[in-house]
Structure 1
């Protein structure tokens, strides 16, 4: 009666509540989603959504359709994973979910070396700070920073992740101080994540009069804001200690509060390319563990 693409478009709009967000989820443009939903409703002879200025709301008919469609989605996802789990060859697609900041800095080189060694693996990178749902087969493997990896996924701990407080050369020059004398200048700006509800303890203790210079919503934006001198900020040591334009500040202690993990669904445990990629990335992180853990020599600071 209906093809799966129609149902995918329907589910995206039902879950996201807007054409724009559904288009982003599906990787198509706004007009395509609108056209597909209208055609689907015409084909069914039923209205699946009520349209309003605030978005799309599922009708009673749409709710019934959604319940059935979600069951179909689960069955298709299960079938996909079962097929993939029996694939013992180093060929085919491999979808990798990872934070955008890792891809933009260090991780791409490691993925490139894996691709060179395995030219028949088709790599698809999903770079986002949002958590990808591995149970819904949105990705095959995910690299993420977490203190509590999900128990229902297979995980491999890659390295501890340390954080410290940094300022750029431009920022220190403007304030006529260095990494060790910055506390002599109490008036400072800081860069923070919009997801943080309260000021960090180091800011309250050492810079109680500091004001917010910039709020950002991604790790990559945080790095760039500090690097360009908008303010001081707390960064992963892997980013801060290896950038010549960034300086770790004193007397702030290095903080170990989470780990990098590589995760995948148990159904993919015997898939050759998933296992090979996991081992490849684990070896790459192990070589640079001291950088991720903030274990640099004092000569570098």
Structure 2
């Protein structure tokens, strides 16, 4: 049966992406009751139940999954047509999932310039411990710590980046000098991640310095670890784009450098969209602008 009201499809898409009526309502700027009414109308026109109600929210039925594939293509076509006709360039929204440190210390600093360049875009910067998945359409673009091995994805290396040990001069003053990794084993407080809560093996930094080292002040947040370091609490590993950018910290064991990589990942179905391409190009630009910090030179 033909459905003529595009707003019903938009409500369906918002619920499919967020998993909850209330979240979908906030995304679309309306209340959950209106979203629910539009869903009921769409289900009546389609002659099928599109979502199952659970304690956590709405889960797509088989009919809903089939409709989602069609509606996503419609939404992409609509966005591309709108962008093509916009004098200000790409329009619509882009959700970027990045690690907490990279998002807060690098991406966020440049977002103002990106917004000025593309005023028609709305940007969601999800900078947290853990990543949203482009393959499940949770994010349009993800900057991951390793190249994904499966899924309908396109991935390329965004940049290598260096990490080093850091501490504050106040912490180091009066303590045993750190001339080798073995000096960290006694008389020093080590800061790092909570081992069982590390969401990616690439975050096991201390083991790259010395396999016997273990943090005693631990957090799942790299920003919290940074706060401990500048508060003179101990010694810890930070990406150089954080540690070298902060004048309150100095390098410890400067000859020891850890190298990791960022991978730029998109869904193959959306990779070529104008708004996605523009954002990918911009992310590559800002990494080049901060190349010396990334390399830790």
Query: What TM-score, normalized to structure 1?
Result: 0.68
Gaps of 5+ in 2: 1-7, 45-51
- The match for 2:159 is 159
Gaps of 5+ in 1: 14-18, 51-55, 297-301
**CA–CA distance in structure 2, aligned partners of residues 129 and 184 of structure 1:** 27
The residue correspondences of 1:82-161 to structure 2 (distance < 5 A) are 82-85=77-80, 87-88=83-84, 89=86, 90-97=89-96, 98-148=98-148, 152-161=152-161
Note if contact 2:166-2:252 (Cα within 8 Å) is conserved in structure 1. Answer: yes
Shift, 1:165, TM fit: 1.7
Q: CA deviation at 1:82?
A: 4.2
Q: Which secondary structure state, in structure 2, belongs to the residue aligned with residue 268 of structure 1? A: coil
Q: Which residue of 2 aligns with 1:190?
A: 190
What is the aligned partner in structure 2 of residue 239 from structure 1? 242
CA pair 12-161 structure 1, distance change in 2 beyond 3 A: same
Q: Deviation of residue 255 (structure 1)?
A: 1.5
> Are 2:292 and 1:285 aligned?
no
State the secondary structure of the residue aligned to 2:246: coil
Task: Tell me how far 1:266 sits from its aligned partner.
Answer: 2.6
Residue-pair matches, total: 268
SS in 2 for 1:146: coil
- CA distance in 2: counterparts of 1:6 and 1:277, whole angstroms: 26
Q: Deviations 1:21-67 (Å, cap 9, x if unpaired)?
A: x9789869xxx989x99xx99xx9xxx668xxxxx489xxx98x734
CA distance in 1, matches of 2:210, 2:26: 40
Aligned residue in 2 for 1:271:
273
Distance in 2 (CA, whole Å) between partners of 1:137 and 1:275 is 16
C-alpha distance in 1 between matches for 2:139 and 2:124: 9
**1:212 maps onto 2:216 in alignment:** yes
Of residues 178, 182, 202 in structure 1, which corresponds to 2:209? 202
8 Å CA contact retained: 1:153, 1:266 = yes
SS of the aligned residue for 1:267 comes to coil
SS at match of 1:165: strand
CA contact (8 A) 2:162 2:258 kept: yes
Q: 2:233 aligns with which of 230, 235, 245?
A: 230
Q: CA deviation at 1:150?
A: 5.7
Quote the Cα distance in structure 2 between the aligned partners of 1:242 and 1:80.
Answer: 41
Contact kept in structure 1, 2:168 and 2:248, CA below 8 Å:
yes
Question: Judging changes above 3 Å, is the alpha-carbon distance between structure 1 residues 76 and 129 closer, same or farther for their aligned structure 2 residues?
Answer: farther
